[in-house]
Amino acid sequence: EGTMKIGPEGHLWIGGCDTVALARRFGTPLFVYDEAYLRARIRAFHDAFATTGLRYEVAYAAKAFCALAMCQLVQEEGCALDVVSGGELYTALAAGFPPERIHMHGNNKTMAEIEYGIESGIGAFVVDNFTELEMVEEAAHRLGRTVDVLLRVAPGVEAHTHEFISTGQQDSKFGFDRATGQARQAMARVRELNHLRCIGLHAHIGSQIFETEGFIAAIERMAEVYEEGVRMGLPLAVLNVGGGFGIRYTDEDDPLPIRQYVEAIAGAVKSAFTARGLAIPAVWVEPGRSIAGPAGITLYTVGTQKVIPGVRNYVAVDGGMTDNPRYALYGAKYEAVLANRAHEAADEVWTVAGKCCESGDILIRDARLAPPRPGDILAVFGTGAYNYAMISHYNRIPHAAVVFVRDGKTALVVERETWADVARFDRPLRYEAEGET
């Protein structure tokens, strides 16, 4: 996918760059993003929405991969931005992202995050629960501002995906429950709050979703809630249907083209709102994975092997669950190739392990590979979303670097950490009396 190809020397190329040369120059593990493909994924959303005639917003979900350069890129491509923390907001603002095009999620925003959002002039808060409703009102009052909010509703729709990334069902920590009337109560309450303007409703049913049924069901239920809100006199104008559009990690995955998700959403919104005699709202989506995921790969250097005759072949690389915890967390599957010998037949089966001290530190169970040798470069595909974003310092392993590639050019967008970086906030054990500075 994207600009990937195999060069005449048998190396894997991406963005006009030889991955073997990238690994040599920037070291491994290395995240490599195909910039043209990132932009193409975003344009697919815009192109699809353009044909629907709806007012819309494509808000990139920064949680999938948040870095200064990524915020710049998505802004250039006409996206709004969904942030979920002060840290993501800080990064976006540092990138020059227009605050009014940022909205903030989170089920436990701290008062400091709420104030930071208000003072920065972000476009909207997506309020998740009753506690937060009062907190945002209080902060807005104190800061002398009126704040636009969307209310997050749990529509009670089961998305067919991994339990940990399914969020629209009733038993979820996110959002005002629809079935028990919490959404209605929240709308009634927000109307009483003088510093909040409820401009819309939000629902996100889950992630890595392959069908449109869940979105359509959620939109029908949301239209019902929306109608109640309009009757109550709320200035509703936005329906945010979240993200969750699936991507292909392996041949087992069969995602729809972006256009089909958008068409289904647009069709469902038009019919549900028209049927209720409501004005068609602006439709916001929040894709994360479907933009960043397919455009990123990870390069590793192959190290040791352990062959257990009749049991399994293990080959270890110089990263692992630190840079990609998705197998450990969700049993996620990936495909890979030896990037320096990409033309060779992948006729052996090897389990790719990481270097962390933990048996579950696996990247790919039973991958089909050409016979790996120490020093080979392994490229794992589809690692652009929720990999770097979930990186950890387990075993005090420094964070990997991130490079963007385009037309044979490279841009290092996140530097590699050093061992010293990992320890830089450590202090020797030295007690002082409480209150001493």
Nearer to ligand LLP, 64 or 74 (CB): 64
Nearer to ligand LLP, 63 or 109 (CB): 63
Nearer to ligand LLP, 212 or 290 (CB): 290
**Binding site for substrate: which residues?**
289, 326, 330, 358, 386
Q: How far is the CB of 126 from ligand LLP (least distance, A)?
A: 7
Q: How far is the CB of 284 from ligand LLP (least distance, A)?
A: 10
Of the candidates 229, 209, 231, which has an alpha carbon nearest to the alpha carbon of residue 157? 209
15 φ/ψ angles, rounded to the nearest 5 degrees: 55, 35
Q: Which residues pair with 315 in a beta bridge?
A: 305, 352
Q: How far is CA 226 from the centre of its chain?
A: 27
**Binding site: which residues?**
244, 286-289, 326, 330, 358, 386
Candidate list 17, 71, 198, 357, residue with the active-site label: 357
In angstroms, rounded to a whole number, what is the distance separating the alpha carbons of residues 51 and 49?
Answer: 5
Neighbours of 60 (CB within 10 A): 32
Q: How far is the CB of 97 from ligand LLP (least distance, A)?
A: 17
Strands 362-369 and 348-353: antiparallel
Q: Is 71 in the active site?
A: no
Residue nearest to ligand LLP (CB): 243
**Binding site for pyridoxal 5'-phosphate: which residues?**
244, 286-289, 386
DSSP string, 226-279: HHHHHHHT----EEE----B---SSTT--PPPHHHHHHHHHHHHHHHHHHTTPP
Nearer to ligand LLP, 165 or 256 (CB): 165
Q: How far is the CB of 348 from ligand LLP (least distance, A)?
A: 28
**H or E segment at 318?**
none
Write out the residues near ligand LLP by the rule CB under 6 A.
61, 63-64, 82, 105, 165, 167, 204, 207-208, 242-245, 286-290, 326, 330, 385-386
Nearer to ligand LLP, 59 or 377 (CB): 59
Of the candidates 10, 11, 8, 14, which has an alpha carbon nearest to the alpha carbon of residue 294? 14
**Which strands make up the sheet holding 17-18, listed edge to edge?**
5-6, 12-14, 17-18
Q: How far is the CB of 215 from ligand LLP (least distance, A)?
A: 12
The alpha carbon torsion through 28, 31, 32, 35 (nearest 10 deg) reads -160
Of the candidates 168, 281, 284, which has an alpha carbon nearest to the alpha carbon of residue 227? 281
Return the structure tokens found at 199.
Answer: 């401009």
Active site residues: 357
